[in-house]
Structure 1
Amino acid sequence: MNIKVAVNGYGVIGKRVADAVRVMPDMELVGVADVATDWRVRTAVGLGLDVFAATPGAGTAMRAAGMPVAGTLADLLSQVDVVVDTTPKKVAALNLEAYRAAGVKAVFQGGESHATTGHSFVAQANYATALGRDATRVVSCNTTSIVRILGALQDSELLARARGVLIRRATDPGESHQGGIMNTLVPESSIPSHQGPDARTVRPDLDVVTIAAKAAHTQTHTHFWTLQLTRPASREEVLETLRAAPRIAFIRMADGLTASNTTVELMRDLGRPRGDMWEVAVWEDVLTVEGDEAYLTYQVNNESIVIPETIDAIRALAGTVTDGPTSIATTDEVLGMRRDFLPDALRAVPA
């Protein structure tokens, strides 16, 4: 029997989760809930989704705007096994008691604190510890990438410690008219930035420190890492360790993929929905290893990297797939994820 899923919040993450649930062979999207009446929710109606009012006031506004309303959030929760909460930061935690009262398992996003659920999730790292839980929290986009990359090296006993600099996008592309920064760069006010400690909610023994700044762009985050290895290693060994891990793909400056916007454009040319990149995109030809130190740079699509993790979290909470690698493989195959965005035959020949 398929897992019946609800999505509460049809925004940047919610609409992507809804689309991913709809294509999974073992899931059924029962409906989405929201409070808005604008183009975003009207798009959901146009796609044939059942839209529920997340609050009584929202139901009144939706009906007044001529939108069909399938029912209340309580009505939606009564029909599902798992709800994915993608409501705005700080709002989601207020919904937890309603989910518990309805007997529905809940997946939260990284905007909420670890304390909200007592469990933070990245599929390749701790799928097993989420099995059967009432709730989990898929960590933020940047934290997800940290756990994927550093976790792969840690599992191979190559990583001693990691020090990273994160250049973050200012805001989501669809909200750049509402705010963000222009013609400046804003360092975060504390070191470490929150991503390093957050990664340790998933991998407690990870020795990581992050420094972050917000820049005047809206397309992807970029990470720069200095890694202390446990022993001298070759570039090929580090590269193959990353290649063996799920949800890491490779780009090359030699192919003209020299900046974040070029990778975004590549995703569109590959036919990705909304231009999404679910993988961490590592610059293969930038990766440098000198003895027991490694240096690498990668990109994170803030709008989409957590989508496959959320799908796996649904399975883990529902307990329908008890093996993490099996769930990851199913999700990745259905979404069409890659290890290389360009086949070898289409790559530039090194000079």
Structure 2
Amino acid sequence: MMIRPIRVAVNGYGVIGKRVADAVKAQNDMALIGVADVATDWRTRVLETKGVPLFAATPQALDAFRAAGRQTAGGLDDLLGEVDVIVDCTPKRVAAGNVEHYRDRGLKFILQGGEKHAVTGHSFVAEANFETAIGRQATRVVSCNTTATVRTLSALKRAGLLQRARGTLLRRATDPWESHQGGIMNTLVPEPEIPSHQGPDARTVDPDLDVVTMAVKAPETIAHLHYWTIQMTRPADKEEVLDAFRSSSRILLMKNEHGLDALNAVKELMADQSRPRSDLYEVALWSDMLTVQGDELFYAYMVDNQAIVVPETIDAIRALDGRETSGRRSITATDLAMGIEGRLFVEAGTPTPSPIGNQT
């Protein structure tokens, strides 16, 4: 008997929403029912070429679409009546205002990292806590920087190597598509508090993490760059640490001999690999740079702020739906559908890792 696919809607067709929508369409066990938004410009006109129904996210937006001569399939309530899970990718604090509406309808919903943990009471990174989200009404996929932090620290934790972690984050100034509207030039802007919010946020996923982060905003828009100092539980050699990172299909180990020595080069590789929008879904970690001194570990990696949370969101959909109870199987399905190959050519000759998750 054929199992009905998970019916999914996306509210907010911006940087994350449009990527989530495409990723949902790529899954064999999901169906994208529609997208809700308020923008009448080019951002939502693309949906017409993709055959995705557009819904007005607010009554005011419905009026605006009509005034612009745009056809819609109805309002947000019409869309919510047709789906099992709603992924809210609206701007910060807008999503929190939508939660009561979702709860009143008994809908399962996913928020993004711009909202507070308390809004859903659960925060999600697939390799760390897929099982705890199974069957819940709601979860929150943490931010790009927090996702990368949890992925890498969880790999070390699974290997029994993690004692405490201290990280410095160089953050891109703004999203590339809107860099003409703001951002910073010719300066660096440190976050005013230590720890920066990413460390405490990582502990909403795994309360046992001993992690402190510091962050500074930099005048570029390609990606984030993290530097980490790790106190390990014991001395270990470099290859053991690399094996810990290889256990994750969503950590990409890069070698300098391949010329991937800067953020822009890695993004160009993603384009050459025909990744949609040149998206890097993995944490891209420089294996040659990684250094071990006794029980201390030092490494750096790149985070694509526009893409890294997308596979996590797909896994969160499956977890909330509850039919898939294996994190490993969900991660494998998501990676296959999205072309996340683990190593690409970067570490040729090393085995492709088995995704981590509930091993049942």
Give your verdict on TM over 0.5: yes
Measure the CA separation in 1 of the matches of 2:322 and 2:230: 36
Residue aligning to 2:162: 159
TM norm structure 2: 0.95
Match of 1:55 among 58, 62, 65: 58
Indicate yes or no: 2:279 matched with 1:268.
no
TM norm structure 1: 0.97
Residue aligning to 1:309: 312
Q: CA deviation at 1:336?
A: 1.1
Indicate yes or no: 2:218 matched with 1:215.
yes
Gaps of 5+ in 1: none
Indicate yes or no: 2:128 matched with 1:116.
no
Measure the CA separation in 2 of the matches of 1:344 and 1:319: 35
Residue aligning to 2:354: none
Q: CA deviation at 1:339?
A: 2.2
Q: 1:195 to 1:344 in 2, by over 3 A?
A: closer
Equivalent residues of 2:170, 2:224 under 8 A apart: yes
Equivalent AA in structure 1 for residue 118 of structure 2: A
Query: 1:86-124: per-residue Cα shift (whole Å, max 9, x none)?
Result: 000010000001111122100000000000000000011
Residue aligning to 1:187: 190
Query: 1:299-320: per-residue Cα shift (whole Å, max 9, x none)?
Result: 0000000000000000000102
Indicate yes or no: 2:333 matched with 1:330.
yes
Equivalent residues of 1:118, 1:136 under 8 A apart: yes
Q: CA deviation at 1:35?
A: 0.6
Q: 1:343 to 1:220 in 2, by over 3 A?
A: closer
**Cα RMSD between the aligned structures?**
1.2
Match of 1:43 among 37, 40, 46: 46
Residue aligning to 1:320: 323
Q: 1:343 to 1:254 in 2, by over 3 A?
A: closer
Residue aligning to 2:83: 80
Indicate yes or no: 2:10 matched with 1:7.
yes
Q: CA deviation at 1:346?
A: 10
Q: 1:121 to 1:327 in 2, by over 3 A?
A: same
Equivalent AA in structure 1 for residue 201 of structure 2: D
Measure the CA separation in 2 of the matches of 1:166 and 1:256: 23
Residue aligning to 2:356: none
Residue aligning to 2:176: 173
Q: CA deviation at 1:48?
A: 1.2
Higher mean C-alpha displacement, 96-105 vs 132-141: 96-105
Q: Secondary structure at the match of 1:100?
A: helix
Residue aligning to 1:259: 262
Query: 1:126-158: per-residue Cα shift (whole Å, max 9, x none)?
Result: 111111111000000000000000011012110
Higher mean C-alpha displacement, 155-164 vs 301-310: 155-164
Equivalent residues of 1:33, 1:51 under 8 A apart: yes
Equivalent AA in structure 1 for residue 303 of structure 2: V
Equivalent residues of 2:253, 2:347 under 8 A apart: no
Residue aligning to 1:248: 251
Measure the CA separation in 1 of the matches of 2:161 and 2:254: 22
Equivalent residues of 1:124, 1:246 under 8 A apart: no
Measure the CA separation in 1 of the matches of 2:47 and 2:74: 15
Equivalent AA in structure 2 for residue 99 of structure 1: Y
Q: CA deviation at 1:254?
A: 2.0
Q: Secondary structure at the match of 2:39?
A: coil
Query: 1:176-226: per-residue Cα shift (whole Å, max 9, x none)?
Result: 011000111100000000000000000101000000000000001000001
Equivalent residues of 2:254, 2:346 under 8 A apart: no
Q: Secondary structure at the match of 1:201?
A: helix
Equivalent AA in structure 2 for residue 117 of structure 1: T
How many residues in Structure 1 have an aligned counterpart in Structure 2? 347
Measure the CA separation in 2 of the matches of 1:177 and 1:239: 39
